[in-house]
């Protein structure tokens, strides 16, 4: 039986965990490779391993876990009078700021509060294996209240398209028919829309003011789509109830999708927002209207919110920006108007908060032109500049004394692209001069629904954002968030430690070092101090991010396999066979079933640099496997274009013989097909990949195969020994090269997140 995975840019595949648990199986998923005839009277049952494992998982979720930590002020001093709440447990901090409480092993929000303090929430990664008796969260920074106003910025948001029509069967001219399987029901959009965003409500509640980028027209009548644009979005007015749930009272509409339904769409959008009491700026019927700020006073701060977009659609006959002949977004490419609009607010004694829609989609850092747009807003007098549009969370900088958040990525958006699933929410404490405290929270957009990310993916994206930030800022990692300081203003120095490793090089003269088990959570490689016997050492980052099979978000689900197609009775995550952490992936195959059991990664993983046509094709697949009477195991990689349906064949990147063996590491360099002569065309270049894990029938009985800690490593340029890297960073692997079969002694300096 063959498996065809649909293009992840077009189709959503449901991925929530099945509840085998302790009840009869009443609904069966696809049986991959199942030899049982479809007309059998008795429905097939999951293997005993998965029923037993489900019981273990349920018991583990209720098992007690001790959680400790210390509350500190931004300067590092202990907070002596405060309360900490985690689940149903509450604790008072001691004179040294430390707390201790007991809860269960489910990821949750930890809330710190007290007199004179801002209520602050942290993401606690508590889905830990039974062998872990306690978790120390370390120092948690809580800012004082009173002197500042806390503004929350969230990223790109829309409730249309796949939210309403999961299979995208309806054209852009019509509202789709009611679909009971849709996240948002057309007949009553409010409940589904509220449910989509509600897991982030605890974070929004901690802010004084909340705003996001509404990247969609709002209309009940999508009869006027842009005639030549590839993608047109509309949100139903009823979905604005989700903004009310979050306490969002202002949205930026200065973006490249506000004109998707042309002037009628802008009129409908403004009417829908007005009816809900949601304010807005950034677009209008004329340029003057589009550049008109929205004014409010928070505490004693007279803030003016402006928005503008540099993505003006000049390649189309009908542009997206407001002009003398049409409405649209404020044009960020118009330097004079941008300066005038921001300058006028400063001249009126107001403080401009500027949201800019600019950049290269899916890129991890701002382009040179993007920086000119960010700097333009800062130089014109912005109090803070916040970026949108790439759909990927980027880093931070300070220009001319003004904080810049380059891109927050997605908040609630129906994209299936792997790189768009980790966005960010920023909490910025402002006074009349500048920001005073900035915290960045990672958001995992799980099947279009934002959740707080915790654990390895969260720390990976936060470390990447830190690594690619401007030297004008310093970054510090805390559980579930990243703190942004101006250079030289971080009060406490991060701790460092030294580690010595011995690396055995293979017959090809290469040794791959997996630092994930060496680095503490939030720790980064600072430098390679020595590599005796090596000709060169290179650092590498994991592009996969979801190879540990852990529960790493905060929601009601427990132990779900985030990005894997485990829709068969013969594969699932398992707590009983994990190499590290709480879970691994298990596959069961009997000798009588000749077809392989297959688990596929659901999304296309694109090479580093694809978005900017600078692809790094130097990649290695790393993973670990274990067998219990298993059949032969294969890892197969299939190569795709960045976008569209083009495939370029596959290669076998690992093969393990059948049998019984403990955890065994496998590594394999990947060999993408060559580039075409048109490097700027995402439809024709092999820069993306999906992998498939397979177990074939064992020689006898029932075989069990387990996988864990998978990674697709993208290698950087050689490191200079003794030279420090920017930290935090996402360099979790080393490639050590030298004489074949030799041993290399490597000494590393590691730096903690703080």
**Cα separation of 692 and 633, whole Å?**
11
The 3-state secondary structure of 536-562 reads EEEEEEECCCCCCCCCCEECCCCCCCC
The CATH number assigned to the domain holding 160 equals 3.60.21.10
Q: Is the pLDDT of residue 14 over 50?
A: no
Q: Look up tokens 């009971």; give the residue.
A: 180
Last residue of a domain, one of 116, 141, 166: 141
Cβ burial of 346 (10 Å; 0-12, 13-18, 19+) is middle
Residues 230 and 190 both lie in one domain: yes
616-to-366, 395, 399, 423, 513 alpha-carbon distances in Å: 18, 20, 30, 23, 20
Q: Of 669, 666, 668, 662, which Cα lies nearest the Cα of 623?
A: 666
The two three-digit tokens of residue 320, written as one number = 């997206």
Domain check: are 294 and 327 in the same one?
yes
pLDDT digits (tens, 9 = 90+) for 118-149: 999 999 999 999 999 999 999 999 999 988 99
pLDDT value of position 493 = 84
Task: Give residue 560's pLDDT.
Answer: 86
Instruction: Decide: 319 and 260 in contact? Cβ < 8 Å.
Output: no
pLDDT at position 258 over 80: yes
* CA within 13 Å, CB half, 739: 6
Distance CA 63, CA 684 (A): 51
Q: pLDDT value at position 42? A: 56
In the 8-state DSSP scheme, what is residue 210? E
Last residue of a domain, one of 386, 419, 434: 434
- C-alpha–C-alpha distance, residues 592 and 602, integer Å: 28
Same domain as 173, residue 129: no
In whole angstroms, what is the distance from residue 358 CA to residue 107 CA? 35
- Residue 34, pLDDT > 60, answer no
| pLDDT value of residue 192 | 98
pLDDT for 174 equals: 96
- Give the closest residue to 615 by CA, choosing from 545, 684, 686, 678: 686
pLDDT at 9 over 50: no
Residues 554 and 529 in one domain: no
Pair (563, 626) in one structural domain: yes
d(CA 349, CA 25): 66
Please state, in angstroms and rounded to a whole number, the distance separating the CA atoms of residues 409 and 418.
12
In a domain, 563, yes or no: yes
CB atoms within 10 A of CB 473: 20
Distance CA 565, CA 570 (A): 11
Mean pLDDT within 139-164: 96
Is the residue at 472 inside a domain?
A: no
Is a pLDDT exceeding 90 seen at residue 491? no
pLDDT, residue 574, reads: 94
Whether 28 is in a domain gets the answer no
**252 and 382 both lie in a single domain:** yes
Q: Residue 453 contacts by C-beta under 8 Å, 6 or more apart in sequence?
A: 123, 422, 442, 443, 444, 461, 480, 552, 553
**What is the mean predicted confidence (pLDDT) over 513-540?**
95
**Dist CA 243 CA 233 (whole Å):** 18
pLDDT of residue 8: 42
Name which of 27-36, 82-91, 651-660 the model is least confident about: 27-36
Distances 537 to 102, 164, 533 between C-alpha atoms, Å: 44, 50, 11
pLDDT tens, position by position, 335-346 = 999 999 999 999
**Residue for token digits 């649909």?**
6
- Token pair, residue 136, equals 């120390």
Residue-level pLDDT at 7: 42
Distance CA 210, CA 115 (A): 23
- 115 in the same domain as 192: no
Q: Where residue 736 sits, what CATH number does that domain have?
A: 2.60.120
Can you tell me the distance from the alpha carbon of 549 to that of 527, in angstroms, rounded to the nearest whole number?
29
Is residue 38 one of the residues assigned to a domain?
no
Q: How confident is the model at residue 17 (pLDDT cuts 50, 70, 90)?
A: very low
Is pLDDT at 32 greater than 70 in this prediction?
Answer: no
Same domain, 288 and 307: yes
Note the pLDDT tens digit of each residue in 609-627: 999 999 999 999 999 999 9
- Do 120 and 264 sit in the same domain of this protein? no
Instruction: In whole angstroms, give the CA distance from residue 403 to residue 408.
Output: 14
Q: What is the mean pLDDT of residues 144-157?
A: 96
Domain extent for 270: 149-434
Locate 640 and state its tokens: 């795709």
Dist CA 300 CA 294 (whole Å): 16
CB atoms within 10 A of CB 664: 14
Round to whole Å and give the CA distance between 747 and 447: 42
User: How many domains does the structure of the chain reveal?
Assistant: 4
Question: Could you tell me if residue 740 is inside a domain?
Answer: yes
The torsion of the CA quartet 674, 677, 682, 683, rounded to 10 degrees, works out to: -90
- Choice among 39-43, 401-405, 738-742 with the minimum mean pLDDT: 39-43
Report residue 521's pLDDT band, with 50, 70 and 90 as the boundaries: confident
Of 198, 195, 199, 164, the C-alpha closest to 181 is 164
Query: Taking the C-alpha atoms of 633, 646, 541 and 468 in order, what is their torsion angle to the nearest 10 degrees?
Result: -160
- 87 lies in the same domain as 178: no
Q: How confident is the model at residue 568 (pLDDT cuts 50, 70, 90)?
A: confident
- Same domain, yes or no, for 323 and 219? yes
Which pLDDT band holds residue 45 (cuts at 50, 70, 90)?
confident
Kindly indicate the confidence band of residue 267, based on its pLDDT and cuts at 50, 70 and 90: very high
Provide the pLDDT confidence category of residue 43 given band limits of 50, 70 and 90. low
Instruction: For residue 34, give every residue at least 6 positions away whose Cβ sits within 8 Å of its Cβ, in sequence order, or none.
Output: 1, 44, 568, 569, 570, 593, 595
Please tell me the distance from the alpha carbon of residue 634 to that of residue 654, in angstroms, as a whole number.
6
For residue 594, the model assigns a pLDDT of 86
What is the rounded CA–CA span in Å between residue 361 and residue 349? 35
Contact 112, 170 (CB under 8 A): no
Mean pLDDT on 296-315: 97
Question: Could you tell me if residue 471 is inside a domain?
Answer: no
- Domain containing residue 630: CATH number: 2.60.120.260
In a domain, 30, yes or no: no
In this prediction, residue 284 has a pLDDT band, given cuts at 50, 70 and 90, of very high
- On the question of pLDDT at 754 being above 90, the answer is no
**Does the pLDDT at position 201 exceed 80?**
yes
Residues 286 and 200 in one domain: yes
How does pLDDT run across 634-677, given as a tens digit for each residue?
A: 999 999 999 999 999 999 999 999 999 999 999 999 999 999 88
Within 10 Å of residue 146's Cβ, how many Cβ atoms?
8
Q: What pLDDT was estimated at residue 4?
A: 37
pLDDT of residue 315: 93
Q: Residue 559's CB: how many other CB atoms inside 10 A? A: 23
| pLDDT on residue 13 | 30
Please give the Cα distance from 466 to 472 (Å, whole number): 11
How much is the pLDDT for 178? 96
Mean pLDDT value of segment 79-97: 96
Residue 456 lies in a domain: no
One-character DSSP codes across 235-268? E-GGGGHHHHHHT--EEE--STTTTTTHHHHHHH
Q: What is the pLDDT of residue 679?
A: 86
Q: What is the 3-state secondary structure (H, E, C) of 158-173?
A: CCCHHHCCCCCCCCCC
Tens digits of residue pLDDT in 452-470: 999 999 999 999 999 999 9
Are 356 and 374 contacting, i.e. CB atoms less than 8 angstroms apart? Answer: yes
Question: Is residue 543 a contact partner of residue 419, using CB atoms and an 8 Å limit?
Answer: no
Q: For 172-195, what is the mean pLDDT?
A: 97
Query: At residue 36, does pLDDT exceed 90?
Result: no
DSSP-assigned states of every residue in 125-151: -----TT--EEEEEEEE-PBSSSSEEE
């Amino acid at each position: 039986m063959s498996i065809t995975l649909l293009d992840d840019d077009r189709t959503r595949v449901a991925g929530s965990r099945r509840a085998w648990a302790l009840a009869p199986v009443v609904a069966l998923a696809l049986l991959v490779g199942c030899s049982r005839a479809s007309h059998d009277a008795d429905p097939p049952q999951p293997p005993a391993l998965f029923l037993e494992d489900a019981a273990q998982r349920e018991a583990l979720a209720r098992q007690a876990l001790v959680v400790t930590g210390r509350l500190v002020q931004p300067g590092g001093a202990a907070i002596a009078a405060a309360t900490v709440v985690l689940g149903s447990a509450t604790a008072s901090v001691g004179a040294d700021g430390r707390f201790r409480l007991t809860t269960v092993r489910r990821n949750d929000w930890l809330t710190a509060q007290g007199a004179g303090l801002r209520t602050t929430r942290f993401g606690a990664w508590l889905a830990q294996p039974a062998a872990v008796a306690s978790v120390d969260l370390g120092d948690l920074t809580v800012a004082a209240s009173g002197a500042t106003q806390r503004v929350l910025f969230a990223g790109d948001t829309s409730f249309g398209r796949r939210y309403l029509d999961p299979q995208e069967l309806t054209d852009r001219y019509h509202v789709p028919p009611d679909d009971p399987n849709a996240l948002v029901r057309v007949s009553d959009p409010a409940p589904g829309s509220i449910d989509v965003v509600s897991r982030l409500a605890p974070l929004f509640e901690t802010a004084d003011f909340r705003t996001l980028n509404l990247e969609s027209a709002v209309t009940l009548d999508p009869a006027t789509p842009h005639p030549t644009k590839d993608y047109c979005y509309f949100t139903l007015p009823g979905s604005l109830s989700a903004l009310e749930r979050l306490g969002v009272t202002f949205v930026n509409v200065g973006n490249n999708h506000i004109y998707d339904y042309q002037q009628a769409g802008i009129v409908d959008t403004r009417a829908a927002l007005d009816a809900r009491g949601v304010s807005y700026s950034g677009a209008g019927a004329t340029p003057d209207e589009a550049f008109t700020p929205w004014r409010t006073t928070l505490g004693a701060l007279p803030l003016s919110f402006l928005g503008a977009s540099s993505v003006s659609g000049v390649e189309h006959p009908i542009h997206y920006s407001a002009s003398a002949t049409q409405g649209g977004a404020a044009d960020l490419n118009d330097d004079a108007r941008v300066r005038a609009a921001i300058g006028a607010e400063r001249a009126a004694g107001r403080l401009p908060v500027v949201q800019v829609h600019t950049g290269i989609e899916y890129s991890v850092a701002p382009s040179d032109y993007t920086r000119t747009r960010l700097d333009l807003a800062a130089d014109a007098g912005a109090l803070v500049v916040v970026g949108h549009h790439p759909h990927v969370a980027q880093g931070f900088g300070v220009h001319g004394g003004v904080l810049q958040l380059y891109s927050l990525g997605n908040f609630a958006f129906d994209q299936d692209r792997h790189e768009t699933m980790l966005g960010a929410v920023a909490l910025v404490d402002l006074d009349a001069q500048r920001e005073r405290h900035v915290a960045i929270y990672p958001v995992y957009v799980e099947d279009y629904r934002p959740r707080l990310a915790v654990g390895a993916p969260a720390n990976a994206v936060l470390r990447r954002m830190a690594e690619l930030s401007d030297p004008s800022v310093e970054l510090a990692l805390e559980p579930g968030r990243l703190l942004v300081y101006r250079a030289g203003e971080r009060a406490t120095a991060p701790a460092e430690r030294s580690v010595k490793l011995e690396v055995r090089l293979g017959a090809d003269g290469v040794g791959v070092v997996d630092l994930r088990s060496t680095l503490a959570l939030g720790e980064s490689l600072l430098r390679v101090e020595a590599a005796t016997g090596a000709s060169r050492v290179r650092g590498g980052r994991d592009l996969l991010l979801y190879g540990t099979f852990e529960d790493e978000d905060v929601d009601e689900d427990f132990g779900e396999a985030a990005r894997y197609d485990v829709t068969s009775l013969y594969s699932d995550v398992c707590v009983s066979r994990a190499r590290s952490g709480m879970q691994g992936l298990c596959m069961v195959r009997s000798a009588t079933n000749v077809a392989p059991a297959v688990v596929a990664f659901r999304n296309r993983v694109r090479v580093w640099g694809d978005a900017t046509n600078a692809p790094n094709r130097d990649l290695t697949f790393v993973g670990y496997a274990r067998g219990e009477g298993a059949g032969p195991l294969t890892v197969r990689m299939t190569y795709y274009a960045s976008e569209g349906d083009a495939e370029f064949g596959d290669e076998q990147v690992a093969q393990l013989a059948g049998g019984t063996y403990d955890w065994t590491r496998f590594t394999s360099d990947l060999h993408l097909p060559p580039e075409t002569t048109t490097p700027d065309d995402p439809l024709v270049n092999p820069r993306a990949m999906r992998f498939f894990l397979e177990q074939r029938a064992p020689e006898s009985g029932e075989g069990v195969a387990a996988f864990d800690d998978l990674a697709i490593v993208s290698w950087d340029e050689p490191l200079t020994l003794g030279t420090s890297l920017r930290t935090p960073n996402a360099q979790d692997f080393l490639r050590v090269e030298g004489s074949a079969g030799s041993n290399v002694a490597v000494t590393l300096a590691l730096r903690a997140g703080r």
